[in-house]
Chain A
Amino acid sequence: MDQFVQAVINGIMLGGFYAVMVLGFSIIWGVMGVINLAHGEFIMAGAYTTWFLSKQYGWEPLVSLLVVMIIFFVIGYILQRILINRIIDRPPLISLLITFGLAIIMSNSFKLVFTATPRSVDTLLSGFWRTGNVTVPVTKTTILIVAVLMMAALHLFLQRTRLGKSIRAAAQNREAARIVGIVIAAVYALTFAISISMTGAAGTLISPIQPIYPFMGAVLTLKAFAITAMSGLGSIPGALFGGIVLGLIETFVATYVPGIGTNLGIISSYVILVVVLVVRPQGLFGGLKPVEVR
């Protein structure tokens, strides 16, 4: 029983991280129709930035979060302007190939600069809370709280502000949005910048709990896709649901299938992905097509 409760707690905490990690991916896809295969690499870059700030200046990951978000906002904006904007009107396969190239460039550049040695970030928020035989790690709880706060903030931004509404309008119907005076190029640049900023922040969140290495990205991209397949594009509640489902499945597999460890995490998300795609190609919530950002 304790083992079960422990697995549920761990799964939900992992799921909170997955939910915040997937948002950038599903919003870029939902709003712009660009499938960002370099998504995991941006998470990796965010984690490395946090590691660098922590090692060089001794910053807490939670403090770096804001800095990382600003840095990645700027990077995302520039990248959208010089690269993604060129291919936005071309078939999505072009964007697949471009971001695939980008992913390779990023992971290998980071390997060149930081070597392939796995790194880890220390945080003051370590330790455990203990109730009976169930332990609740403080770091992961903090991550879950921050993740939920970030999602709530993004939700409010998309629902309540003019800019957020224009992003949703552009996702729903680009031509109509243009007609009512929304500058599509600006909205896309903003969308990309916000998404990349969220993605970099996800890297900061993951940095205290997982080893950081240059090739961690591909697995995360795949998980992002599996969650998006479950949750639909751009849906924040859906992302939370999909993230927690994946987190629970991964933890339960790791807990109850002996002798296999965490490698099965990627396999289980892959199985979910293929099963969802084959059984319900439109996604569990009917969202695997560009629809409104909720």
Chain B
Amino acid sequence: MSLDELALQALNGLSFGALLFLLASGFTLVFGLMKIVNLAHGAFYLVGGYVGIATFTATRSFLAAILAGAATAAVFGLASERLLLRRVRGQELPEVLLTVGIALVIADGCLAVFGGNPRSLPIPGLLAGSVQLGGFAYPSYRLFVIVLAAVVGVVLYVVQHRTRVGALIRAGVDDREIAEAMGINVPRVFTAMFVFGGALAGLAGVVAAGLLTLRPGADTDILLFALVVVVIGGLGSLQGAAVGSVLIGLVDAFSKVWVPELSYFAVFAPMAIVLMFRPAGLFSRSRA
């Protein structure tokens, strides 16, 4: 493998990792605050992506597609949290089972509305070309995804650590009861976080539509990657999600080239290794 090929695969891995980060960050933030493993996160991603494609077809605007996709997924998040999850707050198992039910319904709804054929987003004007990097040309869209994920990551980190909203959330994570006693409306913070997590999943869905294809079953495929990322990084940790995403993105890209028959399996190996030595993940603040 020449240096150019190596760089090419590394960029492929980074751009897929960037997509995984967009997805996993919402998943891990929701878990960090609410202790809910949202197995409907992949379904939010799918519905956001489909709506994004439909919006782009209608308006030819990528920005509109992103906003519509994120907003749709956010609305599903809002409905799930307000109507269903709130009723079983704090009960681990019913919460996660409800998200399984929600995922079944949304995925079937997507099949009914958008059909079973694979769909993807025609890459919009400015991002459609490629950039000459050393000895090879690389698609601009993939570079855009990397930049977008980096920006989102930095914004999330700054909001979490430097702003009042972030302080509210960290207070809710650290000690819910004290936060409530201090006058913070914790249920409202929870709802807002769940809606925001949904919006991130929707955003990831629209971005993914230009990178991969969306079809029935894509929701559970990508959910596996998100799970592996957060298990490696540590549930609830934003930095962990970033490191895990890059790691899994790279493992995925190189295993597809070197051991194509084991490509799915290769993603699982880092998770098993991490679990054996650090069951709570690399960056977890909580005890295992």
Do A and B originate from a single complex? no
- A interface list, Cβ under 8 A from B: none
